[in-house]
Structure 1
Amino acid sequence: MNKLISLCMIVKNEEKVLDRCLNSIKDYVDEIIIVDTGSKDATIDIAKKYTDKLYNFEWINDFSAARNESLRYATGKWILVLDADEYMDQAEIKGLRQALLQQTPDPNVVYMLSIISFLGDQKSSTTTQGLVGRVFPNHLGYKYVRPLHEQIVCSEEGKTKSSKLPFKVYHSGYTNVALDEKNKHDRNMAIFEEMKKKQNLTPYDHFTLGNQYTMMNEPDKALEHHLSALENGNENEVWYRYNCLSIMQNYINSGQQLKAWNFSEQYFKEYYLFPDLLSMKGLVYLNIGLSNKAKELFLKALEVSEEKASNNEDIALFSQDLGTKFPLWQLVHLYEQEQNYNQCVYYLTKLILSNERDIKAQIKLTEILSLVESTESIVTFLDKLLKVNSSSEKMASTARIAILLGLAELAKYYVNTGNLESRLNTKDSLRYSLLCNNQEKFEALVGRLSEEEQKDPIVLKLLVGGSLVWNRYDYLIKVTPEINNEGYSYFCLAEKLLSDQEYLLTEQYYNEAFELLSGIYILGYYDTYDQLLSRMEVPAIINQLANFFYSKHQQQTAFVYLEYLANNNELSPQNCSNLAQYFENIGDTEQSITYLAKALELQPDWTKGYVQLYKLSDDPIQKKSSLEILSTIDPLYKSLLN
């Protein structure tokens, strides 16, 4: 029987993800070829479960060379290329096989698949989407070129064409955890440096290097390369439009909001009715202080995305998340800022209905519900939304959220109802013991800490918290953290507080002091909090606490600290901004303007403040002055504000 699809892969130390990848496609490919470039873990053993076509290749800092080695062994009619940190849903790979049964190989056509990449935190990652050539005919001279971000080309130089197939590949290699574990940034930058020595970078090279700097959170360097790619690139290339989006994103990330706006007007005007671009423009509005206009665009993005979905159209030009999940989150934050908790709950519910594993949304939903609902009502709501009580796994996850938020009654409900104490990890168990004021349980857990757990900064901080709330200096000597451990400075501060009643806080420990105070407050140890605060009552700490309580919607407590700061002439621009927002929410425009003006006195280059002042003020002189200042910064402000 003739083989239809050969899967060709290159791997190195992929034991955590390879099984997922191969298991997802094994029933729909005819052979699996794996070239290993030096694995030291269980990668080869996992691969042997799926194929005997395993080959070694010495890594020479060249992805194309390794890819081409894998192509040498393929015998199928078509080649499919995947990475170990990718996978396909069954419907997608089945559809791809059926489509290839109908296709005639073309010596010049590479088929593009949509690669959905997860970014950031694995538990609540965002995604980006791009088309990449992953399917092409075998035996027709196709080969890979470029050592990094390799591209497949046909035998005739310059003749390669692309065509899209409507199937998706999911990629988890750019989550924070994956980037750290694989050290991809250092590896990729080393290859780029070698490329620079050997040849001039092409526009595509500048595009990929710009993407690398974006992932490394260096937007200014990213812009340098993306702009070079724009100037010298070919607008007909698939990557060109993505380069334009990257430029707009990096203008925003580097604080150049109006450059982002102008760029979008020049390059994306014809695409404005795509939800992801509506969201990008909404973000620019939000960042310059026009929250109402931002809200309108976020709502429009959701409306258009729902309309496109109902018509089975592509929801987004670049990223579905940017057109759906992103505007939902922005609306959550905007309504939370306005203290409109019903709308917060509404949009958080939509987020969770679209992905019930969105832990970030569940945490925020539980936090918002705790402001306005009883424990019983929260339990009822969460069960209706997520069927929490139907699964011990769901109850454990919800219990962890309640423990994290310091919601003792809610945490006890789920832990007791689901008999979950044995299912909590060490960090959650320590925190739960603190939350329940169970010193005996806490001590037992400390006595069983493994060597690895004793190095965990979160465990160390919880141990410090226990030592302070129960006044137990001996807890500190049970573990000795290394100096370079993140938890070391917390130990030092706790040691000083417990051993020296006359100790007064020094600037060296301001951040640690704030984290300990806010953490102890969340856990409900108010007397301990007051005692510690009396020894740490310096403006820098009070300032952080004021903003902390404001962010937790405890305005009365926040105002106590803000009054202290005002009396000592220590209000920060952020304090003033929070006060301005509060008074705007309750309709006291005069007070809001007073604090905006105060914030601008303290931070004259705060352009967002001038925008807000212009919006709120009815005083023609004040409005004119604000507009003149903004127009001096950029004349575009005049048209955006009118």
Structure 2
Amino acid sequence: MAKLSLCMIVKNEEVILSKCLESVQNVVDEMVVMDTGSTDKTVEIAQKFGAIVPTFPWGDDFAEARNEALKYVTGDWVLVLDADEVLNQKVTPQIKEAIAKEENLVINLVRHEIGSSQSPYSLVSRLFRKHPEVNFSRPYHAIIDDSVGQLLKKESHWKIVDLPAISVFHYGYTPGVIASLNKYNRAQAAMESFIKEHPNDPYTCSKLGALYAQIGKEKQAVKLFKQGLKSNKADTHVLYELHYHLGNLYAKQEETGKAIKHYQKAIDQPVMAPLKLGSHNNIGVVLQSMGDYKNAAQAYETTLKIDPTFITGYYNFAMTLTAMGRLEDAVAIYEKLISLSPHYAAAYQNLAVVFFKLNKLPESSKAFKKAISLYEEQNNQVSANNLRNSLKELGLWEE
């Protein structure tokens, strides 16, 4: 049976490390948690889980650190996680089956980007055979893809496969995490240094462009995305990202034609359906803004076929149905949404409006009160007060 090793690099992760290690402790045969200069209890926590904890001085290069950590791995296969990630234990049988196949070299995993304002899923090369020629490259967003590509040119019998189930939950997109780790500044410096020497690298064009878009450097972002597309070196996943990010920028700039064009080009890429969720949803948002409710509704329906738990898809679909006058259908979608996300205050508020339009006043009143209660529970007093005052003005609120 193939031996599986966890391989991580960490620094000052005492708050979140335990959750990560708990998720793999009954899955992996070995834990290598390399510390790069922690001043908190990170090392102590890792050791409590029985991890091997080598140390390595941080040098602003993720690939260098990850490759150093690989030196301590003794397993046949390597699972790479960050401290803000958790393994979905339900996929353990599929992982075991995949690593048992002698021809497999890399198992790409679907990662759920919890809290991401963009596409909720990504594909990551985080499970791979321990091979002397498989290593990480790039100082930020370090990946094994470059070395794997070179290896396949020499040893073509190896296979790269995608595991379709959601395997990893990533919590790094929550605002508090991003702010506390100062991720933007660190990422920008590392990628800008790399792209000076590799100006036509599509992967870095995509990642740095996305970062520029997040921090308001939109012209630089568009330039990089176009640069990545012109290189003709991007694989299908990077092509998807480049078109998707361009679509987002054009949508923000209200250049709807260009936005739809790039979202469609992203959708046309031969990548797994969950990875296309963001493009389907965002093309719906653009069509909805144009008043093309029929096609917007179709886009949202597609998102729900891909992922029946996609909350944003339900919310947008229900709003579109309301705009189309399909009020009973909108009620059904809002109720499905609330069954999946029972603390979604805005959903209750919108549902109350639909009930009011249907002249179902008791149901409307109950939903409005629930929305206000949830806003207050979530310390969103402004929304609670605004909604209460609006209802008072309309004569719909009774203390």
Q: Same fold (TM over 0.5)?
A: yes
Deviations 1:475-517 (CA, angstroms, capped at 9, x unpaired)? xxxxxxxxxxxxxxxxxxxxxxxxxxxxxxxxxxxxxxxx7xx
* Higher RCO (CA 8 Å, separation ≥ 6 residues): 2
The partner residue of 2:375 within 388, 394, 404 is 404
Distance 1:356 1:521 in 2: 21
Describe the shift of the 1:233–1:85 C-alpha distance in structure 2 as closer, same or farther (beyond 3 A).
farther
8 Å contact 2:315–2:334 — kept in the other structure? yes
User: Whose helix fraction is larger, Structure 1's or Structure 2's?
Assistant: 1
| 1:159 matches 2:147 | no
Which residue does 1:132 correspond to in 2?
A: 124
Q: Is the 8 A contact 1:251 1:259 kept in 2?
A: yes
> Which residue of structure 2 lines up, in the alignment, with residue 117 of structure 1?
113
Which residue of the other structure, out of 296, 317, 339, is the alignment partner of 1:353? 339
Instruction: Write the mapping of 1:98-117 to structure 2, written as runs, cut at 5 A.
Output: 98-101=97-100, 103-104=101-102, 109-117=105-113
Q: Is the 8 A contact 2:300 2:316 kept in 1?
A: no
Equivalence map 1:69-80=2 (5 Å): 69-80=68-79
How far is 1:94 from its partner? 3.7
Give, in angstroms, the shift of residue 20 of structure 1.
1.3
CA distance in 1, matches of 2:268, 2:133: 40
Match for 1:285: what amino acid?
L
Give the secondary structure class of the aligned counterpart of 2:115: strand
CA 1:192–1:376 in structure 2 vs 1: closer, same or farther (change >3 Å)? closer
CA distance in 2, matches of 1:520, 1:215: 31
1:170 to 1:553, Cα distance in 2 relative to 1, 3 A: farther
Take 1:265 and 1:38, find their aligned partners in 2: how far apart are those partners?
45
State the Cα distance separating 1:188 from its structure 2 match. 0.7
Partner Cα distance (2:364, 2:243) in 1: 50
Q: 1:299 to 1:285 in 2, by over 3 A?
A: closer
Tell me, in whole angstroms, the C-alpha distance in 1 between the residues paired with 2:247 and 2:316: 18
The CA deviation string for residues 453-479 of structure 1, in whole angstroms up to 9 with x for no partner, is xxxxxxxxxxxxxxxxxxxxxxxxxxx
8 Å CA contact retained: 1:10, 1:83: yes
2:315 to 319, 329, 334: 329
Q: Residue type matched to 1:142 in 2?
A: V
What's the CA shift for 1:363? 5.8
Q: Which residue of 1 aligns with 2:297?
A: 299
**Which secondary structure does the structure 2 equivalent of 1:285 belong to?**
helix
Structure 1 residue 71: Cα displacement: 0.4
Match of residue 156 from structure 2: none
SS in 2 for 1:378: helix
Task: String of CA shifts for 1:26-55, please: whole Å, max 9, x gaps.
Answer: 101000100111223332232122124011
TM, length-normalised to structure 2: 0.80
CA deviations on 1:550-587 (whole Å, 9 max, x unpaired) are xx796799xxxxxxxxxxxxxxxxxxxxxxxxxxxxxx
CA distance in 1, matches of 2:180, 2:120: 21
How far apart are 1:100 and its partner, in Å?
Answer: 1.6
Q: Which residue of 2 aligns with 1:9?
A: 8
Larger Cα-atom Rg: 1
How big is each residue's C-alpha offset from its partner over 1:124-183, in whole Å with a ceiling of 9 and x where there is no partner?
x77521211111111433111110111114478363773212342111101222212211
Closer/same/farther in 2, CA of residues 553 and 170 from structure 1, 3 Å limit: farther
1:39 is paired with a residue whose SS is coil
The code of the aligned residue for 1:282 comes to: G
Q: Is the 8 A contact 1:140 1:155 kept in 2?
A: no
Deviation of 1:187 (Å): 1.2
Alpha-carbon separation, structure 1, partners of 2:327 and 2:72: 60
1:192-249 per-residue CA deviation (whole Å, 9 max, x = no partner) reads: 2332455545222111111212333544432221111111132544322222222222
Question: Do the aligned partners of residues 176 and 128 (structure 1) sit closer, same or farther apart at CA in structure 2, a change above 3 Å counting?
Answer: same
Aligned partner of 2:112: which letter? I
What does 1:414-425 correspond to in 2, within 5 Å?
Answer: none
* SS of residue paired to 1:54: coil
Pairwise CA distance, 1:10: 0.7
Match of 2:140 in 1: 148
Question: Does the 8 A contact of 1:5 with 1:76 survive in 2?
Answer: yes
Could you tell me whether the CA contact under 8 Å between 1:33 and 1:54 is conserved in 2?
yes
Partner of 1:584: none
- Cα 1:149/1:347, change in 2 over 3 Å: same
Match of 1:183 in 2: 182
Normalised by the length of structure 1, the TM-score is: 0.52
Residue by residue, what CA displacement relative to the aligned partner does 1:321-372 show, whole Å, maximum 9, x if unpaired?
9x95444222333455678765543322122233445565356546766895
Quote the Cα distance in structure 2 between the aligned partners of 1:82 and 1:155.
19
- Aligned with 1:378 (options 360, 366, 385): 366
| AA aligned opposite 1:404 | Y
Instruction: State the alpha-carbon separation in 1 of the partners of residues 2 and 182 from structure 2.
Output: 37
Matched, 1:84 2:86: no
User: Are residues 359 and 54 of structure 1, via their aligned partners in 2, closer, same or farther at CA, if it must alter by over 3 Å?
Assistant: farther
Aligned partner of residue 152 in structure 2, secondary structure: coil
Instruction: Give me the whole-angstrom Cα distance separating, in 2, the residues matched to 1:226 and 1:96.
Output: 34
8 Å Cα contact 1:9/1:35 also seen in 2: yes
Which structure 2 residue ranges, 5 or more long, are not aligned? 154-158
Structure-2 separation of matches of 1:553 and 1:255: 36
Q: Supply the distance in 2 between the matched residues of 1:141 and 1:82 (Cα, whole angstroms).
A: 20
For residues 286 and 301 of structure 1, what CA distance do their matches in structure 2 show?
10
How far the C-alpha of 1:375 sits from its partner, in A, is 8.2
Matched residues in 2 for 1:520 and 1:325: separation? 25
Asked if the contact 2:213/2:249 (under 8 Å) is kept, the reply is yes
Name the CA shift for 1:15/1:79 in 2 (closer, same or farther; >3 Å). same
Distance 1:214 1:349, change over 3 A: farther
Question: Could you tell me which residue of structure 2 aligns to residue 29 of structure 1?
Answer: 28
- Map 1:45-64 onto structure 2 (within 5 A): 45-64=44-63
Judging changes above 3 Å, is the alpha-carbon distance between structure 1 residues 254 and 270 closer, same or farther for their aligned structure 2 residues? same
Q: Which runs of 5+ in 1 are unaligned?
A: 309-314, 383-397, 406-423, 432-514, 525-548, 558-642
Partner AA of 1:350 in structure 2: K
Partner Cα distance (2:81, 2:253) in 1: 34
Q: Distance in 2 between matches of 1:128 and 1:249?
A: 14
Give me the whole-angstrom Cα distance separating, in 2, the residues matched to 1:42 and 1:364.
Answer: 46
